[in-house]
Amino acid sequence: MTSIDYFIIGIYFLILLSIGIYLSRRAGKNTGEFFISGRNFPWWIAGTAMVSTTFAADTPLAVTELVARNGIAGNWLWWNMLIGSMLTVFFFAKMWRRAGIITDAEFTELRYSGKPAAFLRGFRSLYVGLFMNIIVIGWVNLALEKIIRVLFPELTFFGIEQISILGFNFSAALLYVGCIMVFVGIYSSLAGLWGIAISDMLQFTVAMTSTIILAVITINLPEIGGMANLIDKLPEGTLRFTPAIGQGNVAAEVLSLSVAAFIAHLAVQWWASWYPGAEPGGGGYVAQRMFSAKDEKNSLYATLWFTVAHYAIRPWPWIIVALCTLILYPDLGHGEKGDGFVMVMRDYLPAGLLGLLIAAFFAAYMSTLGTQLNLGASYAINDFYRRFVVRGRTEKHYVLASRIATLLILILSLIVTARLERITAAWEFIITASSGVGLVLILRWYWWRINAWTEISALLAPLFFYAVISLWAMSISPEDPIQMYLRFPYTLFYIAGFTTVVWMFVTYLTRPTDNDVLLSFYKRVKPGGKLWKPIAMQAPDITPSFVFRDLLFCWIAGVVMVYMALFGMGKLLFGEFYTAILYFTIAGISACCIAYLIRKEDLSSHK
């Protein structure tokens, strides 16, 4: 690090703080401005804010680890989520905006009735807004701690290498992460969602540009010698976009995805599990951005732009650098493979560019952290504090409470970070411990019989089954062959299956939602579909807001479009031009089909 590197980083922090101060007055007007921007975002701001949030400091490290363990095909751990994200674009984005709420937890009292609905809202605000949200922030913190530790191996915090507080060990790197968290907490609590979204625009630009520069520099290092030489040097099967089923993939000791694992990712995970940014049916910060859009059309376009950019545009600079690390650092241990991305920065970037890349990682980190803090505070205040603890106070009171909640979530997440060891392990826990709830999050929009107890049981059941399977795994020998089938992703089959049986049983065992609530929801959201027939018969004047068949075609075309664009870009980079042209052609045809169907829906809605 040179003075120019520190100067670049300092300028970046100063710009972010200025944005927070400038927008603090607007955010302080009311909780609507603080949490959902007064519902004034155009699609390109809302969508880019979603992309920037998922461009976290942990993502390049996790992708590097996946590629090192299973080649490019290892990315199916998250590529499969495209199917659910595209479902959100066409089947849910407009309805979320139409609902007119502030958080997805608030949705529970719009859709369900009575004390179970109130309990579910409070429970979701604490379970998703605090417990799950803090784990997400924890793994993002862990990524930044790793980055700082790799870049500055001799780092101390004013002479302190490590400190223990109440049994939690905080390294010097983690203490510096804490300082950055305080900075983010300050500008997030000042500026609310407006400041976070505007910062996201800057952060996405800096992060994307910087990682492209890093990929170009890395591929042209003398040790690599360009793309053709990289391809020749890589182990057989590394460049496959789909798994080499049942065969060695990257190294003899590392097996590729098995048939069952690949099926679990592609056929179960995307609809069964809750995951931040890829919730089936939308939710979390994706739903928050949809609420903040100007109107329903901007909500749909924002989510579509997010899905395209997240899956088709962003990944390749990370993947190229990850492939290079296999050549540059072949001896990294199993738990260190993700560090290769940062080691490339440390060892090969010149002065100035190193500062820019570190600023890019800070940008990615702060974008995600700012969003998660704001989202967590929205759950804590809008859905718990304001709903159950202190009612009827002024908007200024709730904005102040939101700012305090932001800082409290920050402290708790720092404590959780001290307990985490591996980023992908946290990913796997979130996906597994929510397996089975995803189908409920989809069907609650399209089936009148889903009730509050359905969702409560679907949230609790996977946690119970996850604990049972974990205890079983600990009780048997590590050498026992059954151990493999008690690990992720195989556990998705059992937990999703068990959870589905539980919530179906609970649904028919408990009373339906009150008819008045169902009718009000149907008139407000206009979900349509045959599974609403008993309610639709009571509102013959309400016309469904879409043609189900057209949405189905849009969904399929959208999935094809993004996968073809993703694979086409990869083939182009690897010099397979004719295959790339074929993939891009299919992507283009799919895009034209989507444009035609969206225009058709717009014309019919204006008649």
Contact yes or no for 220/49 (Cβ under 8 A): no
Same domain? 555 vs 411 = no
pLDDT recorded at residue 251: 38
Structural domain count, the chain: 2
CA distance 235 to 575: 18
pLDDT recorded at residue 33: 61
pLDDT tens-place string over residues 214-269: 999 999 999 999 999 999 998 887 888 887 655 444 333 333 456 666 777 777 87
Q: Which of 426, 457, 474 is the last residue of a domain?
A: 426
What mean pLDDT comes out for the span 24-38? 63
Asked if pLDDT for residue 371 goes beyond 90, the answer is no
What mean pLDDT comes out for the span 50-63? 80
pLDDT tens-place string over residues 561-579: 999 999 999 999 999 999 9
pLDDT recorded at residue 186: 74
Asked if pLDDT for residue 607 goes beyond 50, the answer is no
CA distance 414 to 30: 28
Same domain? 554 vs 421 = no
Q: Which of 411, 426, 441 is the last residue of a domain?
A: 426
**DSSP 8-state code for residue 158:** T
Specify if 471 maps to a domain.
no
pLDDT recorded at residue 554: 93
Residue 69, domain CATH: 1.20.1730.10
pLDDT recorded at residue 255: 37
Specify if 527 maps to a domain.
no
pLDDT recorded at residue 372: 82
Specify if 273 maps to a domain.
no
Specify if 192 maps to a domain.
yes
pLDDT tens-place string over residues 280-330: 888 777 888 888 888 889 999 999 999 999 999 889 999 999 999 999 998
Specify if 450 maps to a domain.
no
H-run or E-run covering 249: strand 248-251
Q: Which of 426, 451, 474 is the last residue of a domain?
A: 426
Specify if 604 maps to a domain.
yes
Asked if pLDDT for residue 49 goes beyond 90, the answer is no
Residues spanned by the domain of 560: 546-607
Residue that is written with structure tokens 């080691």 in the block: 343
Q: What is the 3-state secondary structure (H, E, C) of 276-339?
A: CCCCCCCCHHHHHHHHHECCHHHHHHHHHHHHHHHHHHCHHHHHHHHHHHHHHCCCCCHHHHHH
CA distance 148 to 598: 46
Contact yes or no for 336/68 (Cβ under 8 A): no
Identify the residue with better confidence: 381 or 56: 381
pLDDT recorded at residue 253: 36
- Say what the pTM is: 0.84
**Contacting residues for 182 by C-beta, under 8 A, at least 6 apart:** 410
Same domain? 195 vs 325 = yes
Q: Which of 136-150, 179-193, 243-257, 375-389 has the lowest mean pLDDT?
A: 243-257
pLDDT recorded at residue 421: 66
pLDDT recorded at residue 316: 94
Specify if 372 maps to a domain.
yes
Locate all alpha helices (DSSP H) within 28-80, ordered by sequence: 31-36, 43-54, 58-70, 76-79
Q: Across all residues in the chain, what is the average pLDDT?
A: 83
What mean pLDDT comes out for the span 394-398? 85
Cα angle: 125, vertex 126, 127; to 5 degrees: 100
Specify if 540 maps to a domain.
no
Residues counted in the chain: 607
pLDDT tens-place string over residues 452-478: 999 999 999 998 988 888 888 888 877
Same domain? 421 vs 551 = no
What mean pLDDT comes out for the span 181-207? 74
